[in-house]
Amino acid sequence: MTIVDLGVPSAAPPSSAPTDGPLIDTFGRVATDLRVSLTDRCNLRCTYCMPAEGLNWLPSEELLRPEELTRLLRIAVTRLGITSVRFTGGEPLIARHLEDVIAATTALRPRPEITLTTNGVGLDKRAEGLKRAGLDRINVSLDTVEGARFAAITRRDRLPDVLAGLRAAKAAGLEPVKVNAVLDPVTGLDDAVALLRFCLEQGYQLRIIEQMPLDAGHQWQRGKAIGADEVLDTLQQHFHLTPDTAPRGSAPAELWRVDGVGKVGIIASVSHAFCSACDRTRLTADGQVRNCLFAQRETDLRQLMRSGADDAVVEAAWRAAMWAKAAGHGINDPDFVQPARPMSAIGG
Ligand code: SAM
Ligand code: SF4
């Protein structure tokens, strides 16, 4: 089914989710991209994500067991039409079952594309094994290449580990290696220029992401974070940027060619929301389906599975969750309410 009238329903949709076919919502968007959070724990404390003291971690009995997660991945791929799976967290490299889950996902048919978002700490020792397990590509988060700023933003002095992780990812063939950056409101524009220079030199693809109201402390303020237009203006003062003409599809990044040697992506999640083209569904480490980063409601698949539900029932619950997806995240609406879970507990 192809529905292109995104965001504006042309007729009243049926009142309940279809029982088969694509994983669709009432606005006609089809979810094919699954984000799986493997843990809510992390070894960094990025200011825009976690408080310095960490959070109350999910109790272990509430986390999906590996066999429960594998079951949900199978349902997603074989019954719901998921074609790409991104593992994230918290920090996915601290989830001990990461390689096993990737290998199990690799064995699914049709085999989905498998990617990972990580802070890169410890990646130097894991990159080859991840590639062997079936990982296709990787995004490593890095907001600055300046050591003191890195330590201030992440509250940990681990820049050399991340740089080693990036090198190992490239050497292992997890390419194109992408670098995700969320910019500091004060130093971020300088960081963006230095990061782009670094990424061009090393052969990584930089993605600059607008900061969203998903910090644990609810400190995000409208208009304080650096916007995509400002980033673009600044980069244009230092590099020759031309729009990448390849079709963008549902990809959130607006891509630019840089000096004829590389590319940079700018993800304007707040200032130019791309909700109308969203193709994502999310699963938290405790087995809750979220139809949006900013959803106020979740659907508890863990409880359903533990109460003996068969695959058809779990599938129907997942479909119903996505059917209820809102048209947009509403960040720019006056009555916007930040979700209770921070980014680290949802999975970015
Ligand atoms: N720990 C891993 C990492 O940092 O890559 C994976 C989880 S982290 C939540 C995933 C991505 O979300 C990272 O690229 C991070 O920069 C981004 N992120 C976290 N908090 C954010 C926020 N408030 N706004 C925008 N992006 C955020
Ligand atoms: Fe950890 Fe990633 Fe959040 Fe930073 S952004 S605190 S690395 S989960």
Ligand 1 geometric centre to CA of 3 (Å):
31
* 296 touches 262 (CB < 8 A): no
Give how far the C-alpha of residue 251 lies from the chain's centroid of Cα atoms, to the nearest Å.
12
Ligand 1 neighbours by CB, cut-off 6 Å: 42, 48-49, 88-89, 91, 117-119, 141, 180, 182, 209, 211-212, 214-215, 343-344, 348
Q: What is the pLDDT of residue 104?
A: 98
pLDDT over 90 at 12, yes or no: no
Cα separation values, 289 from 106, 197, 270, Å: 22, 38, 23
Q: Which residues lie with the beta carbon below 6 Å from any ligand 2 atom?
A: 42, 44-46, 49-50, 89-91, 119, 141, 343-344
Say yes or no to pLDDT of 73 above 90. Answer: yes
Using the predicted structure, report yes or no on whether residue 9 has a pLDDT greater than 90. Answer: no
Residue 171's pLDDT is 98
Higher pLDDT, 13 or 288: 288
Q: pLDDT value at position 5?
A: 33
Q: What pLDDT does residue 331 have? A: 86
Instruction: Kindly report the average pLDDT of the chain as a whole number.
Output: 92
Alpha helices in 155-261 (DSSP H): 159-171, 188-202, 228-238
Mean pLDDT for 135-146 is 98
Banded pLDDT at 7 (limits 50, 70, 90): very low
Most confident of 97-101, 249-253, 269-273: 97-101
Q: What is the mean pLDDT of residues 17-41?
A: 97
194, pLDDT greater than 60:
yes
Q: How confident is the model at residue 8 (pLDDT cuts 50, 70, 90)?
A: very low
More reliable by pLDDT, 151 or 1? 151
- Rounded to the nearest whole angstrom, what is the distance from the C-alpha of residue 13 to the centroid of ligand 1? 34
Residue 133 has pLDDT above 90, yes or no: yes
Q: Is the pLDDT of residue 6 over 60?
A: no
pLDDT given at position 50: 92
Asked if residues 239 and 258 have their Cβ atoms less than 8 Å apart, the reply is: yes
pLDDT at 2 over 50: no
Q: How high is the pLDDT of residue 255?
A: 95
Q: Is pLDDT of 11 > 70?
A: no
Position 126 pLDDT exceeds 80: yes
Q: List the strands of the sheet with 178-182, edge to edge.
A: 241-243, 254-258, 262-267, 205-209, 178-182, 137-141, 113-118, 84-88, 33-37, 280-283, 288-290, 299-300
Mean pLDDT across 280-293: 97
The whole-number average pLDDT for the span 127-155 is 98
Span 201-223, pLDDT tens digits: 999 999 999 999 888 888 888 78
For residue 176, report the phi and psi dihedrals to the nearest 5 degrees: -75, 130
Q: 242 pLDDT exceeds 90?
A: yes
User: The whole model's pTM is what?
Assistant: 0.94
Task: Measure 308 CA to ligand 1 centroid, in angstroms.
Answer: 34
